[in-house]
Amino acid sequence: MFQTEQLAVPAFQKTFERLQAVGIYNKKELPNPDEITQVFGMTTADIWEK
């Protein structure tokens, strides 16, 4: 899991930065690493319920 986090967290952060830059992600603060790792292993339906 640790190696996954080392790769996935920066990739997700960069994705949120890009989405923010083009106006798709409208929150001022990006998700922190803990928020990102909390959804690992969840289904899309589980994530949307949050």
DSSP per residue, the chain: -HHHHHHHHHHHHHHHHHHHHTTS---SSPPPHHHHHTTTT--HHHHHH-
Q: Domain boundaries in the chain?
A: 2-49
pLDDT at 2: 62
pTM score of the predicted model: 0.74
CB 31 within 8 A of CB 12: yes
Mean pLDDT by 10 residues, the chain (50 residues): 82 96 94 92 86
pLDDT at 47: 83
pLDDT at 16: 95
